[in-house]
Structure 1
Amino acid sequence: MSVSDSRPRPTISDVASKAGVAIGTASKALSGSGQLRAETRERVLASARELGYQPNSLAKSLQSGRTYTVGLMTSDSVGRFNQPLMLGINDALGAGRMSVFLCDARGDGVREQYFLDSLIARQVDGIIVTGWRTDHRPPLGGDRLGVPVVYAYAHSADPADVSVLPDDEHGGRLVGEHLVATGRRRIAVVTGPVDYEAVPQREAGLRAALADAGLEPLPGQVLHGDWSESWGREAVDILLSQQTAFDAVFCGSDQIARGVADQLRDRGVKVPTDVALVGFDNWEVFAETTRPPLTSIDMNMEELGRVAARRLLDLIDGTPRSGVERLPCRIVVRESSRPSVSSLAPSADETAATV
């Protein structure tokens, strides 16, 4: 046996001493519980890594009455939004030494109930439910579950539940403020189906920003369709057929925006010289390969996942929470919305996008 093998295993007391904190503080940092400063939590975790500290999981569970496991119920485990969301959730739960059981219900109520029963049987400490759209959904089970539940990129119909969502209205406002700042004044909207809650919220944000500048979206030029490039191409033909000049298009998704960009180019309209273009989602596979690269709204999905996981840890720790928390978006500016000479000085006889 080597000398290193004969050394006693480091204890939580050793971790606390190395980090310069009380044992109780070290325990909270390692379990991901309590209200600690981020730097304190990270210092404790770094000390634990340096010492090679490994808590005794069985003793930890028996002592606390917890299993240090969390269920992650998703409807779309490989979707555009759920992948970064789950990365953020795992980041936050991993810092708290929590194991995650991933359950892909695929939007099927029967599968969801089966996984829910399995998670409860495993005595998980809590459950995070993610969705593929932010609309209201039935609550998972309420108080009868006996474990806390947090909804991430999903909106529980029960106002007593905790739901964490992107602030779609804020995202729309960012678009309006950006387009006004770059000199655009005649703004059309090409977006998704009206039965998605995010759609009117994004439009409301845009309208609020334009109203602050004494503007509004062009009458008759707020078009709703599906979330596809083909709809974006079709919408351009509709806009141009109306013979109403516009110098910007706000698209409800990057997929729609790429279709708009392609069709504008085919119809001889230059982006951004004649028309600025802004998308939503900041889906890099679309935004960075659109011609020209697409300005887009980023919903910060990884951070949304981290916040949802922290809210669940708070509930597990006994901190009461309820209601909807909306997190701000950010705008990622690329070539498609660069100011142009014509947009900075629009005239009454402007002919932009009236091909």
Structure 2
Amino acid sequence: MRDDATSDLRNEVVGRVTIRDVALEAGVSVATASKALNERGRMTSETRERVRTAARLLGFRPNAMARALVHQRSFTLGLLTSDTYGRFTLPVAAGLSAAMSDRGVSVFLCAIDDDPERARLNLEAMEDKRVDGLVIAGKRIDRTLPLNLASARMPVVHVVAACPPDGVGFVPDDEGGAFLAVSHLARLGRRRIAHVTGPRSFAAVPLREAGWRRALGEAGLPPFGEALCGEWSERFGYETGQRLFGAAAERPDAVFCGNDQIARGLIDALAQSGLGVPEDVAVVGFDNWELFAQAARPPLTTVDMELKDLGREAGLTLLDMIDGKPVEPGLRRLPCRLVVRRSCGGGAP
């Protein structure tokens, strides 16, 4: 490559950069440049990388229609979601888009708000656009979108949504995330660890309870009563905190909450009771919803579901399915991550 002429050539480009410009910059034929960028043909890895570098330097953008005709693909994925607020889907979409951008694939997003007719129309729109594959993204792991995918003419993966037995799905490891949180509390010396969580009708609730119990068992600690189930809300967290830390003779010294909203409400109840967090009671949430976690006083230690990673892995798997590579059906539970802040007393800022 003519490194000394790179900046001059970039400055002289007028209009759209063509494959001929890339070939000239890389010192190869147009045919070789085309094969390198389309990952076809035989050539040395050095030549392929030289062409890619030239394309990046020149800001080359391949003609989408021509590329689609050559590969008989649209290089577009569909993302269909019922999560209209975007709490779960936006991080999934961010991970998906980041993984696809390096591969020249765009993402077409539609939200349906649990409306079967809207879902049908959006699915038809995606089929009309000939998307290569479809990501179904939800807001709970035990429900899917109101869609009939039996006749879908494309590969499908499910993210944070129910996955059919013969399908491919990605969800956070709720039990593993709860285990991380409660094990951390036990290592900090907490011995009476309660669990306050959401409705039992959610599949995530018994999984997080199981992680709580497993961590306590491995630490040689008994559960502090039964798991207290209710709403996914600050109000429920506040009301439960008032009961837990009222006139009871024995109180917990830590609480693992099923989500960040419950944890925020519980912290408010502790403050009104004159108890310090984390001095008197350590609190850990679940979700790492930064809007809640960072604004809590003190900032909330919580479990991050790594939704961007879910989106990334779902996208890469979907590309394998589109390429005809063997992909085992089933549900993949990806690891969560504990984000340590001040509410657990673990020494975080």
- For the aligned pair, the TM-score class normalised by the smaller chain equals 0.7 to 0.9
Instruction: Say whether 1:272 aligns with 2:278.
Output: yes
Equivalent residue for 1:263, pick from 265, 269, 282: 269
Match of 1:228 in 2: 233
Name the structure 2 match of 1:108.
Answer: 115
Does structure 2 conserve the Cα–Cα contact (< 8 Å) formed by 1:172 and 1:203?
yes
Residue number in structure 1 paired with 2:178: 172
- Match among 122, 127, 136 for residue 129 of structure 1: 136
Q: Which residue of 1 aligns with 2:341?
A: 334
Structure 1 residue 101, shift from structure 2 partner: 2.0
Q: Which runs of 5+ in 1 are unaligned?
A: 30-36, 341-355
Structure-2 change in CA distance of 1:123 and 1:314 (3 Å): same
| Alpha-carbon distance in 2 for matches of 1:24, 1:176 | 53
Question: 257-266 or 297-306, which moves further after superposition?
Answer: 297-306
Aligned counterparts, 1:122-271, within 5 A: 122-137=129-144, 140-142=147-149, 144-156=151-163, 158-220=164-226, 222-241=227-246, 242-271=248-277
TM-score, length-scaled by structure 1: 0.83
Shift of 1:299: 0.9
In structure 1, distance between residues paired with 2:107 and 2:16:
32
8 Å Cα contact 2:177-2:337 kept in structure 1: yes
CA distance in 1, matches of 2:267, 2:15: 67
Task: State the structure with bigger RCO (CA 8 A, min sep 6), 1 or 2.
Answer: 1
1:86-125 deviations in whole A, cap 9, x for unaligned? 1111112222222322211111112111111221122211
- The number of aligned residues is 327
- Contact (CA 8 Å) 1:188, 1:248: kept in 2 or not? yes
Change beyond 3 A, Cα 1:68–1:166: same
Residues 159 and 42 from structure 1, CA distance in 2 versus in 1: closer, same or farther, beyond 3 angstroms?
A: farther
Structure 1 residue 73 corresponds to structure 2 residue 84: no
C-alpha distance in 2, partners of 1:198/1:16?
Answer: 54
Identity within the alignment, %: 45
Deviation at 1:291, TM superposition (A): 1.2
RMSD of Structure 2 on Structure 1 (CA)? 3.0
Q: Any idea what SS the aligned residue of 2:319 has?
A: helix
CA drift of 1:4 comes to 3.8
Residues 69/7 of structure 1: CA separation in 2 closer, same or farther (3 Å cut): closer
Aligned-partner Cα distance in 2 for 1:113–1:283 = 31
Once the two structures are overlaid, the 10-residue window that deviates more, 161-170 or 70-79, is 70-79
Give, in whole Å, the separation in 1 of the partners of 2:175 and 2:15: 60
SS of the equivalent of 1:144 reads coil
Whole-Å Cα distance in 2 between the matches of residues 179 and 102 of structure 1?
39
| Residue 28 (structure 1) shift | 3.8
Moved more, 175-184 or 83-92: 83-92
Q: 1:311 to 1:178 in 2, by over 3 A?
A: same
- Take 1:79 and 1:58, find their aligned partners in 2: how far apart are those partners? 31
Name the residue aligned to 1:347.
none
Alignment check: 8 A CA contact 1:186 1:246 kept: yes
Deviation at 1:227, TM superposition (A): 0.8
Distance 2:48 2:89 in 1: 27
Give 5+ residue unaligned stretches, structure 2.
1-10
1:243 CA drift (Å) = 3.0
Which stretch has the larger CA shift, 75-84 or 42-51?
Answer: 42-51
For the 8 Å contact 1:233–1:260, the answer to whether it is kept is: yes
- Asked if the contact 2:36–2:52 (Cα under 8 Å) also holds between the matched residues in 1, the reply is no
